[in-house]
Amino acid sequence: MRQDISFDAEGTTLRGWLYLPDGATGPAPAIVMCHGYSAVKELFLDAFAEVFCDAGFCALVYDNRNLGASDGEPRQEIDPHAQIADYRHAITFARSLDEVDSDRIGVWGSSYSGAHVLVVGAIDRRVKCVVAQVPLISGHENARRLIRSDLIAPTQGMFEADREARYRGEAPAMIPVVAPEGEPCALPTADSYEWFTTSGAERAPSWINECTLRSVEMFLEYEPGTYLPWISPTPLLLVVARGDHLTVSDLAIDAYERAREPKKLEILDGGHFDAYIADFERSSTAARDWFVQHLMAGAREHAHA
């Protein structure tokens, strides 16, 4: 069963869906979920939530602030640190629900939110299990894979000009999230353009192809991989796509070595966006099984205590 929900994130209302498992006889473990860079919940998060719900979990899915159905200004600003704080607000909200076993909360994220759950898992001990799918590991390293070396200085110049314009009271500069090859955008890969302009247009009419230029600057400064060693002893599943050249796979596999036990690495065959479609069965099943292993046994013990 799915119902619309909203909750307060220290003055900003975030909106989404709550999935409740059929036939639950008491509070169930919950998975808190939101999407990646600029994406909204209609872009396949419902499919993952349904898999988790069918396995007996509550699933709390919401749109990031400034995007989709959620409130927040400036619109289309993607602030990783605000999004991390909102994961924690969502966990607090989930724990307040009668249907949720507040001692059995997992977090799931993908791409940019896959990065966020690494941080949340390290700093918030209410989280008892983490699944990070095709996550960003290092904004600095990743940007140097995506931005040609001769364009790094001009890009930084754009950030500086935008900062000074905002100081003068001008509106934040905007940039497309995706664009045809060779045109400036936040996610400059061909598969990013393909996925957002086909799946995005079909499944998520609320998705908007722009973000603040400042969002790209924050991406370059974001280092979620720093937190990997601190997630332990919370169980971590890292789902990596072998052909990922957006959040590049070798950085993620290298980062896995820095995480401590308990941990597991699942390597999908396809590219970054195949995790949602072509490799969906593998990516969703791996996540479901990890959550079952680490949250369900505890839930049964808790229920019988």
* pLDDT tens digits, one per residue of 3-12: 999 999 999 9
pLDDT at residue 148 in the model: 84
pLDDT at residue 305 in the model: 42
Pick the CATH number of 2-138+224-304 from 3.40.50.620, 3.40.50.1820, 3.40.50.920, 3.10.129.10: 3.40.50.1820
pLDDT at residue 210 in the model: 98
The residue type of 106 is: G
Long-range contacts of 282-290 (CB under 8 A, 24+ apart): 283/133, 283/239, 284/47, 284/48, 284/51, 285/51, 286/237, 286/239, 287/48, 287/51, 287/52, 287/108, 287/131, 287/133, 287/237, 287/239, 288/51, 288/52, 288/55, 290/129, 290/131, 290/235, 290/237, 290/264
What is the distance between the alpha carbons of residues 165 and 162, in angstroms, rounded to a whole number? 5
Taking Cα atoms as reference points, which of 34, 27, 41, 43 lies closest to residue 9? 34
pLDDT at residue 230 in the model: 98
Phi and psi angles of residue 112, each rounded to the nearest 5 degrees, phi first: -65, -40
pLDDT at residue 301 in the model: 46
Taking Cα atoms as reference points, which of 121, 79, 124 lies closest to residue 225? 121
**Mean local confidence (pLDDT), 201-225:** 95
* pLDDT tens digits, one per residue of 14-59: 999 999 999 888 999 999 999 999 999 999 999 999 999 999 999 9
What is the distance between the alpha carbons of residues 230 and 68, in angstroms, rounded to a whole number? 32
**Mean local confidence (pLDDT), 99-110:** 98
* Pure H helices in 68-186: 80-95, 112-123, 139-146, 149-167
The DSSP bridge partners found for residue 239 are 133, 266
* pLDDT tens digits, one per residue of 291-304: 999 999 754 444 44
The residue type of 277 is: I
Do 116 and 89 contact (CB within 8 A), yes or no?
no
SS3 call for 39? coil
**Joined tokens for residue 119:** 């941080």
The DSSP bridge partners found for residue 58 are 30
* Pure H helices in the chain: 45-54, 80-95, 112-123, 139-146, 149-167, 190-195, 201-203, 213-221, 249-258, 280-291, 297-304
pLDDT value at 110 more than 50: yes
What is the distance between the alpha carbons of residues 189 and 180, in angstroms, rounded to a whole number? 9
In angstroms, the Cα distances linking 139 to 114, 115, 219 are: 13, 10, 5
SS (H, E, C) 97-130: CCCEEEEEEEEEEECHHHHHHHHHHHHCCCEEEE
Q: Where are the domains of the chain?
A: 2-138+224-304
* pLDDT tens digits, one per residue of 119-157: 999 999 999 999 999 999 999 999 999 888 898 999 999
